[in-house]
Every structure is written in C-alpha cells, then in structure tokens.
Structure 1
Amino acid sequence: MGQEKYTAVQSGSIITPKGFSAGGLHCGLKKTDRHDLGAILCEVPAVAAAVYTTNVFQAAPLKVTRESLQNGRLQAVVVNSGNANACTGQQGETDAYTMRAEAAQQLGVAEQDVAVASTGVIGELLKMDRVISGIAGLPQRLSGEASGAEDFSQAILTTDLVKKEACVSVDVNGKTVTIAGAAKGSGMIHPNMATMLAFMTTDAVIEADDLQLLLRKATDTTFNMITVDGDTSTNDMLVAMASGLAENETLNPSHPDWAAFAAGFTYVCQVLAQAIARDGEGATKLVEVCVNGAVSDLSARAIAKTVIGSSLVKSAVFGADANWGRIIAAVGRAGEPVNPETVDIHIGDISVLEGSRPVVFDEDEALEYLKGDTVRIVVDLHQAEGQATAWGCDLTYDYVRINAAYRT
C-alpha cells in the first residue's frame, strides 16, 4: 500500500463520502446514559457488500442483513449496542426483522434495503419497546455533519474506550473518491471474517461483485489479522456501502486507478483493525508481529496470528519481559512448515535469536523498549518469500477484571 496512492482525510468520518448521514442516541439498552442506538443512511440506494463471523452460532441480525444484501444493495444500517440479540431463538429473529421494518419506515427506505447489526451481551432478549421508541427518534438525529458521525461512533461502542474512525481520498480518473470507516471492538476479538462491527462508506461508482471481492481481500490482511483474546464473536460483521455519487468511471480490477482505490480501501481497514487491537480490553500496548520468509503468505498469516494470540507472549509483553522463548514456541506450534535451524527473531531493533540460536543482548535496552506503548516483533524464517503482519495487545490484570464482571 503505497502512501502516494491515497491521501488521509484529517477529521474525516463515516459521513465524509458524498450521500451519507449518520446519527445516534440513547434508547435505554445500556445501564449508563451512553448512546446505544445508531444509523447510517445513504440518500440513494447504495451498492453494498458484507462479510460475517465464521462462528457457528450467528446472531439474528446477521440473518436479516444477509437477506437484505441478496440484491447487492443497501440504503441504511441500524445498529444497537448493549445487547447482541444472539442465541435468542425465534423471538430474537422476530425482533431483528422488527428493527429492520421500523427503521425502513422511519427513514423512508425500502425494508429490504436495511441492514441490522447488534452488539453486547449474548442470550438476552432486546427491550423492543425501547428499541422501537429509539428508532422513531433517529431521523431527527441523522446529520451529514461531524456531530452525526460522532453520535454514531459512540452508539456502537460496548467496552471500547475510544471510537475508531478512518478516512482517505483517492483520485479516480480526475474525480475525488472518498473512503471512510467506523468500527467497534475491544473484547471477544479473534475474527475470521472481519471484526465485531465495522462499517465502511464510499462515494465510488463500483459494482457489487467487485466491492465484495475487494472487501474480502482487504479483510484477509487487516481485520482477520488481529486478535485480543482468541474468541470469535457471534455478531462480527463488516458492511460496506458505495453511493456512486463521486460520478467516476466504474471501478473494477482492470481500471487504471483500481490499485489506488484498493490501497486506500485496505488502508482504512488496517487503521480500524489496528485501533481495535490497541483498544483491547485492559490493554496497555499495541503489539505487531511481522513474519517474513515463510513458505507462503497464508503460512505466514497462520504463524503471525499464533504468536500474537499466545497468552504467554502477551503476558511477557505486559511485563516488559524479553522472553523470546515464548515467541519461538508459538512459531513452532502454529502447524506450519518451519526449519528449526534458520529462525531469526527481533524485538524492536534488538536481535534476540539468529539461526535459532540465542544472541546476547542488552536486557535493560529491551526492558525500556518493551515499556513503550507499541511493541514490534519480527520473525524471519528464511525459507521463502511468504510474509504477513498481525496485530494484538498485551494481556493484563484488567482484562480479567472486565470480563469477570461483564454482565454485572
């Protein structure tokens, strides 16, 4: 992803692409007065695509959204936090369809053009009187201004400490095309599709099949390369909508500006994914694991995610302990081809292993590096050209505290 292909839009948000508005409010699903219901609206039916959790137990909103997306089009997304509407049986499905119908009526769009998303506690029925009342209040809260994007970003958070946003612009045959995203995620993060809840908007002209292919490809190297705790949620969903209002020539893989658009799109995904990893429950550090020299990119991804997901590695990072033995152990159990005689490991710029043999290093220097808020681990297998990068966080006392009392 060459930086020259796209430009970061400072203060950009989910509503920066042409045609989009957003908003949020508190309807009473959360015990606090934080926003817990939000929506994104496009002024025209948008080309749309999505990826979903691979968890066998999939929440009712995913079924509804899959149904809505059968025609490759959406005009609105309604989302609640504080309740996942997962493992709630037939009543949960009925409630998700009711959310879709109510949102369609209040926002003035076709029912089949509405996606539904939920996040929060699993196994509890939605308080639908509060949801319906909240949806009725959404139209007047929707805005194309920064306040609307802020309210939406706050409405989708659960244990998150900060909102996650990103926005870039790309030149496509002389037209400025904008790509933006907003996400939530802090715990139960080990996606195999996207992560928790994420939403992307663009004003590009693009066909649904090409948007779906790009979404899957970008997801594989960004959202699918993060982990906080190794748990894959029942509600993970990433939805992308393209209004087409930039009026560029239709983008597809043969378009001369496709590479620039794809780079910008992937960059937005990466920024959001890294923000989720950095905001992991109880986290104090962002951890990046780069694997080089693997037999394939796919193999490198598996190894990188094994290292980043190791509780022992995560604990060592939290304790600022340069324990490379935990790293090499994770590499060796990833189930991928590795030559046990050729592995190099660096913690930051500090070499701790060369040719699978220990290197004498300055422990104090390593301690100071590991005390920082970003830790980079590089593993070089010296086998072939496969490479991948994964992101995660340290494992702290606070992670246990947060999750021990999640429902209370």
Structure 2
Amino acid sequence: MASEQPLIHAMYPVKGFRLGTVEAGIRYPNRKDLVVMTWPEEASVAGVFTRNRFCAAPVELSRQRLAGAPCALVVNTGNANAGTGKQGLEDAETCTARLAEVLGCLPEQVLAFSTGVIGEYMPVPTLLSGLPACVERLAESEVAWYQAAEGIMTTDTRPKGESVCFEHEGAVYTLTGIAKGAGMIRPDMATMLAFIATDVSIEEALLQQVLNEATNRSFNRITVDGDTSTNDACLLVATGSAGNEHIVNTEQPLYRVLSEQVAMLCQRLAQSLVRDAEGATKFVSVVVEQAGSRQEALEVAYTVAHSPLVKTALFASDPNWGRILAAVGRANINDLDVASISIFLGDVCIVTDGGVEPDYREAAGQAVMDQVEIVIRIVLSRGGATETVWTSDLSHDYVSINAEYRT
C-alpha cells in the first residue's frame, strides 16, 4: 500500500442518483461484482472512454449511446468483455436490454461497463440473474455509494470514493464519485472505471467540457505501469435536482465553481488509484517545471515515471539519482540543454550544471527515499510550463499479482 491515507470518506447522496449492488458470482463467489445505477431521463450525461483500439464491447456500446439520453447503467467485474468480437457486443446488448426491461426504459438508454479478465466471453445468464436484485436495492444512500465502490473493484485492496458539498450564492450542491483501478493504469482518457454524480443543472455539452478538462488534470496525469486498459471509462451525471438556474454558458459563476470542484474531486480519485496501485509501497509525484510547453513537461515526467529502473530504485528506497538523470536525458525533447537542468529529491538538490550538485550528500537523498510519499522535481529552465504526474514504485508484489491474476 503506497499510503496509509484513507481511500474513501463520507459519501454524500446525490438526489436523483440511485445505486444497487449484489454478489452475482460472475467470477468469484461471495464478492460484490454487479452494480446498477439510475438517474432521471432529463439529466445531463458526459463520458470519456479509452483510446485503446481494442476497446471493450461495453465501451463501444456506451460510446454510441452517450448522446441518446441514457438514464441507467450496469457495471460488472470479473470479466472485461474485451477481445470478444461480435459476440461480446451482442452480450452487452443482451444485458442492457434486460436491465431496460426491468427498469421500464428503452435499451438504448442503458449504458454498460465491464472490468476484469480480457478475452473471455461474458457469463450472460449469471449477470442477467443478478439484475433484478440490483434494481430492488437501488437507493440514494451513502451505504449504496459505498457498496457500489466495493462492487466495481478488481485487484484493488480497498474501495475508493470522494464526496463534497460546496456552496455557491447561498445554495449547497453535492458532488460524489467512486473509482476503481490498481493496475493497467496509464489512462489515455480516464481511469479504468469512474462514476461521478452531481445535483447541479447544466447543459450537456458544457458538462462534457467540464469532464474533459477535469480528466486532463487528473486521470490523464497518473501512471502505475504504463498500460492503457481496453475498458477505461469515466462517467459524469448531472441530475439537475438542486434547482439552480440551468447553466447554459461558461460565463455563469456556477459553471466555474462546478468545473473546479469536479477537477479537484477527480484529482483526489486519481491519486487514490496510485496510492492503492498493485504492490505499491510509494506514492510519487514527478513535477517538471520551467518546460517549454505543457506537452514537453509531460514528456519528461512520463519518461521518468515509466522507467523500470527509477521505479525499482524507488521500491528499494535507493537514492540512485543517476537513473532519474538518465531518464530525463532520453526524453523526446529537441535541443535539451542538460547543463541548465536541476533535479531535486524532495527539497534536496541532486543535479545541477549537468552533473551532481557539489553539496549533495547521499544521506540527504536517502532520507527522502525512505519516505512513503516522494517528490521528484525537475527544472528544465526552458520556459514557463509546469506539469505533475503521479506514479508508484515497482515491487515484487506487482509481478506476483499480475503473474497470478488468472489463477
């Protein structure tokens, strides 16, 4: 566990958003693995999905249905329904059609999300048998949110959720979200799965803009192992139940408040994934400052964060700063002047003028590396852009977890 900080806190219900969770036995017995969520038809819905070209059948289906006034979703663990071709898509359609029948809505209004083993066909009868019980348990309560957070877990060790009530012009609004993911995390859109709801009333196109911006500041800034899943998805639902003046443009003050609150909540969820990363013992912030552009800063940050040598040194608490220096040097940056780069471990300067800082002492670096939470700061001296990527170390347990995943 990369941090002792709690990964889930008080979960405030969002009026109009209901959740129901059961143990369907999709892959393992006595484990919550099937979740249904519903919301009013007039709600606004936004989503982002994986850029993996082998995207799972439920991703393909939900992406198509996002603009069709969806009002419900079903999510299962234990089976990703990815790499399953035409049969996988038919299975996703069958499951959503059955849920629509139970709820009394159109099949096209139901989204599907799955996570688990890739390349196996969905046990459709098992999933279908669990849907009525999910619907019976639909509730707006804190307990319903917590159970859903458990129900979407795979190799996660603990459920992950965040919630906030924020005030604007005398009115109080609620924002609550859950997420799962511990491995196969280097999202090219969002985490493996995240579901967020608010009671704010907002135009759907603007809600999508809020989610896109929040995603780029949070889920697109984390990496555990550099792998992008076939099933990544993040959904944001605005039920409109708060009764505010409907947000129709970005100049309305509540739009800016909501945008910032969603970004902060997504950032906390994203960081909770890294804190619970498979086998992780460290939570690491890689901060690149004074880059020529945001993309340049991210290129350097991800090169360091993805380096197996850097990640194993972090696991060993070894202040082997040469591995960090080498990773920075191989980043795909034109005309990188190594003599102008400074590198820090925490507040300890380890590199200046292209080599070791004259006053650096290994004991100081060791003191930083012994910590559970570490900041690696790289100053490029090329411009004014700064970006941060959050990552973890690479341990024996990560290898064991993934080597034994299907056994």
Q: TM-score range by the shorter chain?
A: over 0.9
Corresponding residue number in structure 1 for 2:400: 401
- Secondary structure (helix, strand or coil) at the match of 2:253 reads coil
TM-score norm. by structure 1 comes to 0.94
SS in 2 for 1:257: helix
* Structure 1 position 289 matched with structure 2 position 293: no
Partner of 2:168: 172
Which shows bigger deviation, 184-193 or 318-327? 318-327
Deviation, 1:228, is: 0.7
Aligned to 1:255: 252
Within 1, Cα distance between the matches of 2:275 and 2:33? 22
Change (3 A) 1:92 1:23: same
Distance 1:279 1:65 in 2: 27
Cα offset for 1:74? Answer: 2.5
Q: Is the 8 A contact 2:312 2:394 kept in 1?
A: yes
CA distance in 2, matches of 1:245, 1:356: 57
1:354-396 deviations in Å (ceiling 9; x for gaps)? 2332124332333232222211111111111111010010000
Q: Aligned runs of 1:210-289 on 2, under 5 Å?
A: 210-251=206-247, 252-289=249-286
The answer to whether structure 1 residue 376 and structure 2 residue 375 are counterparts is yes
Which residue number in structure 2 is paired with residue 31 of structure 1?
28
1:172–1:248 CA contact under 8 A, matched in 2: no
Distance across 1 between alignment mates of 2:141 and 2:84: 36
2:115 maps to what in 1? 119
CA distance in 2, matches of 1:158, 1:127: 17
Q: Deviations over 1:281-337 (max 9, x none)?
A: 111111111111000112212221221111111111111111222112222222124
Residue type of the partner of 1:319? A
Paired residues of 1:169 and 1:264 also in contact (CA < 8 A):
no
Q: Is the 1:23–1:40 Cα contact (8 Å) retained in structure 2?
A: yes
Q: Matched residue of 1:304: which SS?
A: helix
- Tell me if the contact between 1:313 and 1:327 (Cα under 8 Å) persists in the aligned partners: yes
TM superposition shift of 1:262: 1.2
TM-score by length of structure 2 reads 0.94
Counting only pairs closer than 5 Å after superposition, residues 166-205 of structure 1 correspond to structure 2 as: 166-205=162-201
1:315 is paired with a residue whose SS is: helix
Q: What is the number of residues matched between the two proteins? A: 397
Shift of 1:43: 4.1
Which residue identity does 1:101 align to in structure 2?
A
Q: Deviations over 1:17-57 (max 9, x none)?
A: 22112121111112242111012221444211111111110
Alignment of 1:71-110 (within 5 A): 71=68, 73-110=69-106
How far 1:11 sits from its partner (Å)?
Answer: 4.1
Counterparts of 1:126 and 1:279, CA distance in 2: 27
Measured in 2, the distance between the counterparts of 1:88 and 1:98 equals 14
8 Å CA contact 1:45–1:74 kept in 2: the answer is no
Tell me, in whole angstroms, the C-alpha distance in 2 between the residues paired with 1:352 and 1:345. 6
Map of 2:3 onto structure 1 = none
The letter of the residue matching 1:398 is D
Q: Distance in 1 between matches of 2:95 and 2:158?
A: 26
CA contact (8 A) 1:297 1:386 kept: yes
Mapped to 1, the partners of 2:70 and 2:96 lie a distance apart of 12
Preserved contact between residue 45 and residue 113 of structure 1 (Cα < 8 Å): no
1:12 and 1:180 in contact (8 A); partners too: no
1:272 alignment partner AA: L
Distance 1:224 1:405, change over 3 A: same
Q: Counterpart of 1:341 in structure 2: which amino acid? A: A
1:128 aligns with 2:127: no
Structure 1 gaps of 5+ residues are: 1-9
8 A contact 2:15–2:140 mirrored in 1: no
Q: How do 1:299-378 and structure 2 match up within 5 A?
A: 299-337=296-334, 338-359=336-357, 360-378=359-377
| Aligned match of 1:46 | 43
In 2, the alpha carbon distance for the partners of 1:180 and 1:362 equals 46
What are structure 2's unaligned runs of at least 5 residues? 1-7
Q: Distance in 1 between matches of 2:340 and 2:291?
A: 11
* CA RMSD, Structure 1 to Structure 2 (Å): 1.6
Q: Secondary structure at the match of 2:340?
A: coil
Q: Which runs of 4+ in 1 moved over 3 A?
A: none
